[in-house]
Structure 1
Amino acid sequence: MTRVLISDDDDLMRAGLIELLTNDPTIDIVGQAATGRQAVEQARRLGPDVVLMDVRMPDMDGIMATRELSRIAPGARVLILTTFEQDDYIFGALRAGASGFLLKRTRPEDLIAAVHIVAAGDSLLSPSVTRRVIDRMARQPAPDLADQALLAGLTRREREVLELVARGLSNREIAAALVVEESTIRTHVKRLFMKLGLRDRVQVVIFAYENGLNRAE
């Protein structure tokens, strides 16, 4: 069973999400919260696998709650579900440790699939959000690289894989681009996570963005 905590200040939205997700017999709704602070407290007590997190909430917003959850309950994966597609929300949530960012207009079947994807340890962004991340990353001027030592520790092939992951390519697409087996790419990706201290592909995108990779020339 995938244990899910729902955090949203809209009573009707929480009720709708509960009704939707309980249609999947492998999802167990273990709790619900109306504020970010309640979400943090319940996650600490209930130990969910996934927290569905709204952004705009009273008391503590979803981004602050996500940051706190990353600190006190790292086993809980946060999937942001919001109406708002603003850059500040997207990048704030991903930097805070969210494993996914979806819009509330997402199709029901895609939301259920997203819960399972995030619970399995992978990451997920809605297509429009992925496009915004990549576009903004491409416009970002090169900063002073605080992570030069980490980047210098990558092999040439690992650096190539890093840049392709950061562009949003799947393992299969990277394997095709580099003309290698998909299993080889999976190995490279695991080594990237380990060497860079990253948890998932979303964090790879943020790392690349913050370090000026894949920017427009």
Structure 2
Amino acid sequence: MPVTANIRSSYRTRYGIIALVLLGFMAWCLNDGFFSYPQQKRIYDTYIQIRYPQGQGNLENENYLSDWRKRIDQFKAEDGIVIDSVTQPEEKTQMDINTQFVMAGITGLLGFAAAAYFISIGGAYVKADKETGLTTKKFESIAWDSITSVDISRWESKGIAVVHFDTPTSKGVVTLDDWKFDREETVEIYELVKQNTNLIPDNESGDDDEEMDEIA
């Protein structure tokens, strides 16, 4: 009877959550960069222009020191700019605005990468049949005699075994990972690989193979 190890929902959900958090932070940064920070900058700049209409040098002029609150109180709100003489607005510079776009770019790239991986592993599985061999989401048939080697160097410590294969139509690897796929079924598939290929020694001490991209 075939044994199928499906992608674990908890494993896939992690990447979905990561993607949502990163893309949400990207949206927040874009909102700050396009709207919130420019508005705060306009408010601060207006406040400074009213308080110091001829520049910072007027700090020594007693008239400016005594009249700035009156000038601010007389200012009429325009274009959403509301200021008062009690609280000084928070300063936002062009550098602050540019920083938001940089952070949006970084988190956006990471977020879209996580989302792409989340989508790509949907429905992923590894199936083993004693009569025919292995089947994955990408490869429909990998006969037992097409398997050329099995890297078990991380099986005991991490539950990862890398099956290398070479068929007339394709060449690559299938990664058995008991954290990524259903654990019990992954162990059963590992045992079937061991029984049907004679590539895994009984002591299960494998040599380190060159790492390859996961295909399963």
Q: Identify the TM-score tier after normalising by the shorter chain.
A: under 0.3
Determine which structure has greater relative contact order: mean sequence separation of CA pairs < 8 Å that are 6+ residues apart, divided by chain length: 2
TM-score (normalised: structure 2): 0.22
